[in-house]
Chain A
Amino acid sequence: MVATILVVAVVGLALGVFLQKGRFCFVNAFRDFFAYKDSRVTKGVAVATLLTMVFWGIAYQFGYYGALWTPEWGLTGLVGGFVFGVGMTYAGGCASGTLYRAGEGYLQFWLTLLFMGVGYAAFAVAFPTLESTYFETFTFGSGVSLFTLSSIPAGLLALAVAGGAVLVYAAVLGRSSETGTLGGRSDVASVQLTALLAPIAGLRRIARGTREYVAGIVDAWRDPLAASKRPWDPRTAALGITGAAVLWFTQASIVGVTGPEARWTGYLLSQVGVDAESYDYWGSVLFQGQGVDVTTDMVMIGFVIVGAFLAASWSGDFSVRVPKRRRLPNAIGGGLLMGAGSRLAPGCNIGNIYSGIAELSVHSFIAAVGIVAGVYVMTRWIYREVGCAI
């Protein structure tokens, strides 16, 4: 019991601290990439996902894990993911971003959380109808992770996928740096040569970037107190989040945010006299017939807010921030869309893009596409007056 509480607290606090210090925001990662090709946070998200994939694969292969999360796959991922993606871009924070900003003192994001709760509750009420219509129609197969499906050992598979992703990225990176130097004078032979050398050129750039990153960290260590108060590189956040997620995976399950939040909604409603258990969605799906009570993952995401609060206070970034009145529709609308979208998929950016891809779940591949598509459409709309790079 004490050990469980310790793990829950360590994982939650660590996630909160690293999310806050690394400004690890999935909206930022995709929106800013589309709007003006800023890929700093996108890289952080990719590093976290791929590293977690490798460690989870190894842990899975040797049996050191709690549980995988593999919902049935189908178009629900695309539909729900799209709704969630639109919602998080409109709200200005994803599921994890909303949590750590709540810890930074944003009343805006506490309001977002409240309306995500309204979204969960509305979904729970509509669930019996949705189950026989929406889920029946759009679900194609039972949930599966490539870790279990593949004949290749999970650890090797994860390494291969992560390695492949790095090579593809290196090739893209190498090509973009080559085109600059070659100019327009390239003939067929040199183009073919470039295609072969691109991954190598890209890997060199990744190696150089990593060296600079490590040198920066070493430099920061000379004055750790001052460095701890400054913003951290998203890659540092990626490393910390991976550490926490690996500990969580070996002790409990994958890291999720909106699932535990939906449970919180059911639990809090039951505390004020609503018979949440009589609703199928809470009673048999979310709490799986165990009774509506506080579960470990609910406590863990509570600690995420505490961790973010501590990190923000330490860095001088905490204050009770009162939103502009014209931003209230973002919290209300964005919260509702995130709450509903994350249930319709099911899963949020953490469950599907981070954890879901890291555990190679087929459902999450589809849902991740839906979320990114939603972010893209909403970004184009918000940037309609000033223009969008992609």
Chain B
Amino acid sequence: MPSIDDVTNAPDELSDDRADKLLEEADLVQDMMGEVCPYPQVEAKKGLQDLESGELLVQETDHVPCTENVPRAVGDDAEARVWRSGDATYRIYLRKR
């Protein structure tokens, strides 16, 4: 049975606890608050270039489209998860493959 995720192509969402725990583990955190497209996409690609396989990049952003565009931009280079605060801030978790 197709779910809404098949339609919007949005990455899996993290629970609040998991999101906070993963943030502590992050190898690189990028502050993308106040940024607009496509700069977070470009920064994510640059950031991943500096990381080793298995390491975690987290972007903190308040730009709505980033939650979809950043994971799409890095494509197969990283496994993506998203956390929505429900208050117009978001985190994007990218684990380099």
Chain A residues near B (Cβ < 8 Å): 23, 25, 27-28, 31-32, 35-36, 38, 40, 91-93, 104-106, 108, 212-213, 215-217, 219-220, 227, 230-233, 312, 316-319, 321-324, 327, 330, 379, 382-383, 385-386
Report B-chain residues with C-beta under 8 Å of the C-beta of A213: 7
Q: How many residues of B contact A (CB 8 A)?
A: 37
- In the complex, the chain A residue whose C-beta lies closest to that of B4 is A220
In contact, B1 and A219 (Cβ under 8 angstroms): yes
Instruction: Choose among B35, B64, B69 the residue that contacts A104 (Cβ–Cβ < 8 A).
Output: B64
Task: Using A32-B72, A36-B73, A216-B6 as known contacts, say yes or no to A23 and B36 having CB atoms under 8 A apart.
Answer: no
In contact, B34 and A217 (Cβ under 8 angstroms): no
Instruction: Choose among B7, B42, B88 the residue that contacts A319 (Cβ–Cβ < 8 A).
Output: B88
In contact, B38 and A35 (Cβ under 8 angstroms): yes
- In the complex, the chain B residue whose C-beta lies closest to that of A218 is B2
- In the complex, the chain B residue whose C-beta lies closest to that of A318 is B88
In contact, B73 and A216 (Cβ under 8 angstroms): no
Task: Using A92-B38, A108-B34 as known contacts, say yes or no to A317 and B8 having CB atoms under 8 A apart.
Answer: no
- In the complex, the chain B residue whose C-beta lies closest to that of A109 is B36
In contact, A385 and B88 (Cβ under 8 angstroms): no
13 A–B contacts from the bound complex (CB under 8 Å): A91-B36, A92-B37, A215-B1, A217-B7, A231-B67, A232-B8, A233-B8, A316-B85, A316-B88, A323-B36, A324-B33, A324-B34, A386-B49
In the assembled complex, the CB of A251 is this many whole angstroms from the nearest CB of chain B, namely 31
Q: Quick one: which of B6, B10, B88 has the most chain A CB within 10 A?
A: B88
- In the complex, the chain A residue whose C-beta lies closest to that of B7 is A216
Q: Quick one: which of B4, B7, B35, B75 has the most chain A CB within 10 A?
A: B7
- In the complex, the chain B residue whose C-beta lies closest to that of A313 is B88
In the assembled complex, the CB of B11 is this many whole angstroms from the nearest CB of chain A, namely 12
In the assembled complex, the CB of B80 is this many whole angstroms from the nearest CB of chain A, namely 13
In contact, B4 and A216 (Cβ under 8 angstroms): yes
In the assembled complex, the CB of B21 is this many whole angstroms from the nearest CB of chain A, namely 22
Task: Using A219-B1, A233-B8, A383-B42 as known contacts, say yes or no to A28 and B69 having CB atoms under 8 A apart.
Answer: yes
- In the complex, the chain A residue whose C-beta lies closest to that of B88 is A319
B96 at the interface (CB under 8 A from A): no
In contact, B62 and A28 (Cβ under 8 angstroms): no
Please, how many angstroms separate the alpha-carbon atoms of A231 and B84 in the complex? 12
In contact, B4 and A230 (Cβ under 8 angstroms): yes
In contact, B9 and A40 (Cβ under 8 angstroms): yes
Please, how many angstroms separate the alpha-carbon atoms of A85 and B42 in the complex? 19
In contact, A319 and B87 (Cβ under 8 angstroms): yes
- In the complex, the chain B residue whose C-beta lies closest to that of A220 is B4
In contact, B35 and A327 (Cβ under 8 angstroms): yes
Report A-chain residues with C-beta under 8 Å of the C-beta of B75: 36
